[in-house]
Every structure is written in structure tokens, then in C-alpha cells.
Amino acid sequence: MSDHNITLAEDAIERKTTTINLGPTHPATHGVFQNIMELDGERVVSSEQTVGYIHRAFEKLAERRPLYQITPITDRLNYCSSPINNMGWHLTCEKLLGVQTPKRVDYLRVIIMELARIADHLICNSIVGVDAGAFTGFLYVMQYRELIYEIYEEVCGSRLTTNIGRIGGFERNFTNTAFTKLEKFLKEYPVALGELESLLTRNRIFMERTIGGGPISAERALNYGFTGPNLRAAGVDYDVRVHSPYSSYEDFDFEIPVGKTGDNYDRFLVRNQEMWQSMRIIQQAYNKVQDFKGTDAEVYHADVPEYYLPKKEDVYTKMEALIWHFKIIMGEVDMPKGEVYQSVEGGNGELGFYMISDGGRTPFRLHFRRPCFIYYQAYPELVKDSMLSDAILTMSSLNLIAGELDA
Amino acid sequence: MAISNEYIQQKLTEKFGDQVFNFEDTYGMLCFEAPKELNLKVLQYLYDEPSLSFQFLTDLCAVNYPESANRELAVVYHLHNLVENIRLRFKVFTPVATPDVFTATQLFSSANWMERETYDFFGVNFVGHPNLKRILNVDEMDYFPLRKEYPLEDQTRIDKDDEMFGRG
């Protein structure tokens, strides 16, 4: 038998790496993200992100807008969970203005915020499934996100960019239809979430694709400013809802799920568990809301005539109400001087609002702490030496939202 | 043992004397100032001192105060001690003519992009930053748009013939 092995001379074949351009518009990036990657075969040698493709200068715009005109801007940060951004913004304004919200308002807000968190995590986790090759889950859970959007619609009239709530409360009381829809969601969603989990959580292909992909240690995650589920997946139990409770989160009983390795699989598990916890919170909040009887059950906003629009029938019949309506819509109310930092637990991390008011009608400076802008920096470190297909999975499991990233 | 704002203030004054000043309590958050040359020393001390250990950089941004001479730009750090769960705000001011501030990237990896963003919008030159270039705006931009000298367009202007945007 002859020897078929081919022996090559030294340097006969050049070892070469390939540079590829992933994005800005690529079906696998789920948003406007560009990555320039240096590949050795299918292995990522190094990468660099380019951000800013949908930068809209929100911080500059906010310097010319009165408070209510900034709410629609916050919608467009993390648009998978707009209500959390809206509430966070209203909480910031309330902190500056010294507004105390009634308990019922807090509980209603908690319901909406937790619904938004579920909608956010649901998208992220089912997209992780899509990128691992399982499209079914994504299509299937969309109808349950639809149930959430119907509740938004019933409360504020819109679905994606919600502009929900007002300073001091909500624009109108929750209708009975809204509560019926909430009950329907509470009944149907756990079944669907259980099914999504049974599709993916112990699925061997899914596990082998996600375990060990894009891991980060707790130290590195903290140093990189990770927050939210991504930090918790690395094993740090930091949650704004517990550490700096807002909107009466201290009245609720829930757990903070944590992971261990900070890899794609842990991030997936943490988000799934958080959805179960959110269901618990919503159920508790709904029970608390139902405990209000008589006139207490009619309370849906605080008494802040300078910032809360008067009733429409008063606007049409009373001079004073008409004046306030005009002043609020045109933003002709001076704010107190001050500097506030208020943060909320957004869908993907700590969403902070740093507002400086010089006593004028618009903020002197408004800065958004956007969680994914801060943790996206770690991406090259997360995907170094991994396969290109795992790099894509890592990107979707980080829950990056382009609107928030670029502000 | 939970630490209080007074304790932090006392520790800082012990270490830096009157180099740290303008202590304020804004809506429960301790806020103070230091000369810009000391920013790294203060951050390092807050990071290393075991009873303080402010090891999480929540936020970094800048503010432009065009009226205050030689203090036109402020760099604002929001720090968080996650164990004791206490936050603080630390500011350094710099003249807009020489906007050089030391980078905090050696201490916090997260400062990298936040400093790039701050440079991009305010032109703060972070000395020692590994990759100080624009991040959200185009590289060709030759001004720093969030400074107050660039106001937003006056919406009542009529000199612009722009039918697309309803001004024609």
C-alpha cells in the first residue's frame, strides 16, 4: 500500500484570516448593529462594533421640550418595553416635583411595568430560540405578546410606542375590559410559557448551542457595568426593584433569579424565571388593586393640577381648567430647580434618568443611562474565540435594542 | 453596617481635606466636587477604601454650563456601592478651552464607551483613553453638538424653503 499522505513544504499554504462585515442590516442581528469581525475559518479572532446608525439626539431634543413632550422620546429607547421607560420618566419628574402617588396608582403601574417586562423577555428569549434554529417558539408566543399589547391598548390607546401614563398617575382609570383582558392573560400565559420552556429549556440541541457561549464572570460583568438579567445571569443579585424600590415594589413578594456562568444559557434561564416572577407580581398587584373599594377604586392619579391635565368636560366649561389645559399642553409651567437621578429596572437593565433643572420649563440637561449601550462594550470580549454562529446567538441573548443603544 | 452620606463625606474630607468640597444632598444622593486633576485619585480611593468600595460605575456624562467662566464643562460620575446599596454623584469641572480630564478606563471597563460618548457630544478630552474617537456621530463632524452654543433649530424660522417638511 502506497503512502497517500501529502507532505507540504513549510509556508506552502498561507494562513489567512478573513474580515467580514456583519450588519448594519443583517437578518441575524435583529436591529441596526454593525460588527466588523476578523475570522479564522469560522472562529472569531477579534471584532469591533460600530454604533450610532439610528442616533436621534434625544438628549439634545429633550433640552427644548417640556416634560410631557419628552415621554414619547422615552418610548423610542427600548421599544420592546416602552411602558417601563414611560413610567421611569414619570417617576423622574415626580421625584423632581415632589409628587406622591397614591398606592392604587403604584400597583396599576406595577402591573403595566411587569407586563412590559414579560413582553420584553418573551421577545428576547424566543429570538434566542430562532437564532439557535427553533423558529416555532417565536411564532407561537407572539399571540401572547398580543394579549399584553391589547391590555396596553385598552389603557392608553396604543401598542408599541405607548406614551402611557401621566405625571402622577394614568390618563384614565383602567376599564373593566382592561381587567378582563388581564385576567385572560393571567390564565392563558403560564400555559404558553410552560410550553416555550418545554420546547427549549431541556432541548438537547438548544442546550448544546447555548451552554458555554458568550460567558462572562461576575467581576468582569460588574466592571463592564452590566445590569439587569445579563448581570444576574453572571451571579450578581442586583435588581433595581429591590435595591432602590420605586412605585411600591417593596410591597411585593418575589424572588430574583440568578445564574452562575453568565453564558447564553444562563441568560435565557434567568429571563424565563423572571417572567414567572413577573407573573407572581402581577397577580399580587391585581389582588391589591381589587382590594380598593368604593371611591378608593376610582383613584388613578395624584392631585397635581399643575402637571395633570384637567378633565375634558371641565376644560370645555370652566375657565380655570381651560387655562391649565393650555399651560400644560404648551409646557408653560416652570419646574423647581434641582438635580435628580432616578432609575428603574428596565427590560434589559438599569434604565437611569439624570435630569438637571435650572428652574425653567424644559430640562437644562437630561441624560439617559441606557443599559445596553453600556454592556454592549463587552461584546468583543464575550465572542472572542467563539464560532461566528455562536457570536450571533450571543448578540441576541444580550437583549440589545438598537433604539436604546443609539438614543 | 450601612454607611451614610455623612460617613462618606467624613472619610473623603479626612483623606483629601478641602480638596473635596460642595457637599450636597440632592434628593437623598450625596453629591460633591473635586478639582479635575484629582478625579482619578478620588475614584481610586472610593474604589479601594474597604468601608466605601464604590466599585460600580453607574453612569458617566458631561454637562455644559456656558455662563460659568473656567467651569464650563462638568464631568459627572454616578457611583454605586452594590453591597451597602448606596449611591453618590461626583463632579469635576474643567474649562472648555482646556477640556482635559483623566480617563477612568483603567478602573472601570464600562467607562470606555461612556467617555467616548462624552467626548463625542461635549469634546471632553479624556487623557489616557485607549480609543478616544466619536461613537454615535459621524467621524467627520467638527463640533460637539450637546454644548449649549449649538441651539436646536428655531421652529418658527421662515427663511427655509423646505416643502418636504411643511415649511414651503
Question: A352 and chain B: CB distance < 8 Å anywhere?
Answer: yes
Mean pLDDT of B5-21: 92
Integer Cα distance of B150 and A1 in angstroms: 81
User: Is residue A49 within 8 Å of A33, Cβ to Cβ?
Assistant: yes
* Contact between chains at B63 and A352 (C-beta distance less than 8 A): no
Burial class (CB in 10 A: 0-12, 13-18, 19+), B65: middle
* Contact between chains at B85 and A373 (C-beta distance less than 8 A): no
Integer Cα distance of A398 and A81 in angstroms: 15
pLDDT tens column, A157-203: 999 999 999 999 999 999 999 999 999 999 999 999 999 999 999 99
Quote the pTM value.
Answer: 0.92
Name the DSSP class of A85: H
Cα A68 to Cα A84, A326, A331, A395: the distances in Å are: 16, 13, 8, 34
Integer Cα distance of B89 and A352 in angstroms: 13
Cell (9 digits) for A33: 448593529
A18-22 β-sheet, strand order: A18-22, A34-40, A43-50
User: What are the chain A neighbours of B85 within 8 Å (beta carbons)?
Assistant: 243-244
Give all domains of chain B, ordered by start, each with its CATH number: 5-150 (3.30.460.80)
Cα A274 to Cα A208, B25, B108: the distances in Å are: 23, 34, 28
Integer Cα distance of A143 and A185 in angstroms: 11
Cell (9 digits) for A184: 385572560
Give all domains of chain A, ordered by start, each with its CATH number: 18-47 (no CATH), 59-406 (1.10.645.10)
Buried b (16+ CB within 10 A) or exposed e, B120-152: bbbbbbbeebeebebbbbeeeeeebbbbeeeee
Say what the pLDDT of residue B56 is. Answer: 94
pLDDT tens column, A327-360: 998 888 899 999 999 999 999 999 999 999 999 8
Cβ-nearest to B135 among A51, A244, A375: A51
User: What are the chain A neighbours of B31 within 8 Å (beta carbons)?
Assistant: 339
Decide if pLDDT at B164 tops 80: no
Q: The complex's ipTM?
A: 0.91
Number of inter-chain CB pairs under 8 A, A vs B: 87
Cβ-nearest to A354 among B59, B85, B138: B59
Residue of B nearest to A245 (CA): B85
> Residue A291 contacts by C-beta under 8 Å, 6 or more apart in sequence?
none
Question: B89 and chain A: CB distance < 8 Å anywhere?
Answer: yes
Buried b (16+ CB within 10 A) or exposed e, A377-389: bbbbebbeebbbe
Question: B38 and chain A: CB distance < 8 Å anywhere?
Answer: no
The angle at the Cα of B45, spanning B32 to A344, to the nearest 5 degrees, equals 55
Mean pLDDT of A45-73: 92
Say what the pLDDT of residue A324 is. Answer: 92
